Amino acid sequence: MADRDRLNNIVALSSFGIFLVVFGHSYANLTLNDDSFMRFMYSLRSVIYSFHMPLFIFISGYLFLHTTNRAGSLPFAGFVKKNSSGFSFHI
């Protein structure tokens, strides 16, 4: 798979994740009642909440893996130090 195709897939996956977060938060105050639509939305929100955060963690880990060099010689501390020029903490 070409790098451009891989990047397009990650953008599509993160866009889908963002949509799920917005959709899930728009129905944040649902309660179970006798209305079948509300029961469906409550169930759908439960499904969305079961995987939307792991999806973002997966995407960020994938992107971190591919922003370091291919040999993997840049450890996490070096990555943070290299990319935190505006911050004043030391590792």
pLDDT of residue 74 exceeding 70: no
89/68: higher pLDDT: 68
Residue 23 CB neighbours (<10 A): 14
In a domain, 73, yes or no: no
Q: How many domains does the chain have?
A: 1
- Residues 49/24, Cβ–Cβ less than 8 Å: yes
- Position 69 scores a pLDDT of 59
Query: Which alpha helices (DSSP H) does the chain contain, by range?
Result: 3-26, 36-67, 76-83
- What's the chain's average pLDDT? 76
| Rounded Cα distance, 15 and 20, in Å | 9
pLDDT at residue 70, as a whole number: 59
Torsion of CA 36, 19, 8, 66, to 10 degrees: -110
Compute the Cα dihedral for 57, 86, 4, 76 and give only its sign. negative
**Average pLDDT estimate for 35-43:** 82
- Give pLDDT, residue 52: 82
Tell me the residue range of the domain where 54 lies. Answer: 20-67
Residue 9 located in a structural domain: no
